[in-house]
Amino acid sequence: MTEHTKGFIALFAAYTLWGISALYYREVNHVPGLEVLAHRTFWSFVLFAGLVVLQGRLKELAFLLHPKSGTQGLYRIAPAALFVSLNWFLFIYAIQTDQTLEASLAYYIFPLMAAGIGVAVFGERLKGLQYVSMLLGLAAVVVLTIGLGAAPWLALTMSGSFVMYGTIKKGLAVGPVISMAAEATLLAPIALIYLIGAQIWGWGGTALQPAGAFGLSLTNTLLLIFSGLVTSTPLILFSYASRRVSMIVLGLGNYHNSTLQLIIAVLVFGQVITLSHMIALPMIWTGLALFTWTAWRTERQARQLARTARKSAVSSSTEETVL
């Protein structure tokens, strides 16, 4: 199995977990959004810190968080942490305000932004039917946007923040566990301060969403602790994949995530699917099929060329030995 294939599998798993994560966040709808975010951050830190200790990589983590690590450490990890934290909060906000459909739109927009970054920044190139796939995706987003009847600012901010996160992570040389541990370590003190404020002084609480949910019941406590695992697992998979697949694949594969979110929004949360969704979704699925076919065919051709080159090299070496 090639590194690209491993990355694609990891990406598919990450997007599947993200696609169904709305089911979890619906269960903590009664907790203020910032408090849920703080728990996500803090318990992710606990999980990643444990992994780093078990792997004996504390010195490596300390170096990444030191200014001397430069753009392959602190100065790249810090903005990545901010962008992913913003994305986490906006997703929680979308679920809590019954805007899961707009959250799914965000992840339909994301692939277009990611592919654009891939072409403009990383010099990647679309191939064959991938141009048609991109056009179909763009047309579908336009249809969905018109169907909303307003500019989708929430969706645009969600997709933009995650594109920036993916772009930063793609240029990072360290592995996924240590990079995520560094991000969580930077955010954990802020999260802990907020959680203390929420528990003692009721920061962020309202009549409908009282603060300080941790410890009120076993269910609340377990759900909030579990947020660390819900958060960290797909991020590790995504970080692993981002170093092995192109930005174009990274982006367009996200349609799987957004479609799962859309299905959950309609079938589980009871949100109404509109005519624009009925028009746009077949366009998106067609674009995905075209893109996947082209990517598979391109990789198969690359493997065939590599095998041919190896055979030619072996043949040439044998002839030279005989001579």
Q: How far apart are CA 216 and CA 221, in angstroms?
A: 7
**Confidence (pTM):** 0.81
Check residue 290 and give its pLDDT: 80
Contact 161, 83 (CB under 8 A): yes
Check residue 247 and give its pLDDT: 67
Q: How far apart are CA 44 and CA 185, in angstroms?
A: 9
Which of 52, 18, 34 is closest to 198 using CA atoms? 34
Check residue 273 and give its pLDDT: 79
- Structural domain boundaries of the chain? 3-195+216-303
- Axis crossing angle, helix 130-148 with helix 100-120, rounded to the nearest 10: 140
pLDDT in tens, the chain (323 residues): 778 788 888 888 998 998 899 999 999 999 999 999 999 999 999 999 998 999 899 999 999 998 988 888 889 999 999 999 999 899 999 999 988 888 887 877 777 777 778 888 877 777 778 788 778 878 887 887 787 676 678 888 998 998 888 888 877 778 778 888 999 999 999 999 999 999 999 999 998 899 999 988 999 999 999 998 998 888 788 878 877 887 667 766 777 888 888 889 888 988 887 788 788 878 877 877 787 677 777 767 777 887 777 777 766 666 666 55
Contact 201, 51 (CB under 8 A): no
Is 243 in a helix, a strand, or coil?
coil
Q: How far apart are CA 205 and CA 95, in angstroms?
A: 17
